Amino acid sequence: MLHRIPKIDEMKCLLQENVNNSRILYLTSYIVNIGNNALFDYEAVRHSIVVAKLAKEIAKEMKLTDSELEDITCIGLLHDTGKQEISPELVKKPKSDMNMKEWNNIQQHSIASAVNANMVLRDPLFRKFDDKRREGIVDAIHFHHERYDGSGYPFGIKGKEIPLYSRIIAVVDVFDALTNQRPYRTWIYTKAEALKHLYHERRKHDYDVLIAFVETIKKKSGSII
Ligand SMILES: [Fe+2]
């Protein structure tokens, strides 16, 4: 069987950085396999890898510990796996064309992803993770679409009620979605435009996370643009 492996720099980087981490290698091959089963398209695989990579960079900038960097990488890789349960037609539909039932279905993906992560983390590879650590990862996935001002879903919690890991994922999730093609949008934002958009919507995000993100972008490209 011919496997479609995303040929992207972030994937190469993620694998190189984690060459000795069997858990990250396992989760990466897990999402690539979902992609190969056509339950989760190529773009979703690419997005998960990029979110994992960028979220880890923000976490590093925020001086999180090594085990926290590993946790956020796991969260990035698994955060959208619940989309397997949504029809590809619905995932591609613009929000403005969705009826209430369809929008509710979309909102359920963060819960489905958390349930899925809870199962994946039962693999013996994760036996060194205690319950608290496993719960932290699952909760972060559960709340990755919540927003700092309470405008997110599915619960509408706000501020520091939202776990830090989820607040980090929220920023890179939006950034990567804006800077890549989406079936429901005809344009792609440049990195500078996406940062500007995040700034305009800063009430939706944790300002400290936004600042750390800008710093990581500066370090990567020498400037914000
Ligand atoms: Fe999501």
Q: What are the tens digits of pLDDT across the range 193-219?
A: 999 999 999 999 999 999 999 999 988
**Mean pLDDT throughout 20-40?**
83
**What are the residue ranges of helices labelled H in 97-163?**
100-107, 109-120, 131-142
**Mean pLDDT throughout 169-185?**
88
| Ligand 1 geometric centre to CA of 56 (Å) | 17
**What are the residue ranges of helices labelled H in the chain?**
9-17, 22-36, 42-61, 66-78, 88-92, 100-107, 109-120, 131-142, 164-178, 191-200, 207-221
Looking at the annotation, which residues are catalytic?
83
What's the whole-number average pLDDT of the chain? Answer: 89
| Ligand 1 geometric centre to CA of 108 (Å) | 9
Residue 142 in tokens: 């559960």
Q: Is the pTM of this model over 0.85?
A: yes
Domains of the chain with CATH codes: 9-221 (1.10.3210.10)
Residue 34: pLDDT band by 50, 70, 90 thresholds? confident
**Rg, the chain, Cα only:** 17
| Ligand 1 geometric centre to CA of 106 (Å) | 9
Residue 115 in tokens: 């349930």
Spatial distance between the Cα atoms of 29 and 25, rounded to a whole number of angstroms: 6
Spatial distance between the Cα atoms of 71 and 27, rounded to a whole number of angstroms: 12
Q: CB-hemisphere CA count at 13 Å for 116?
A: 22
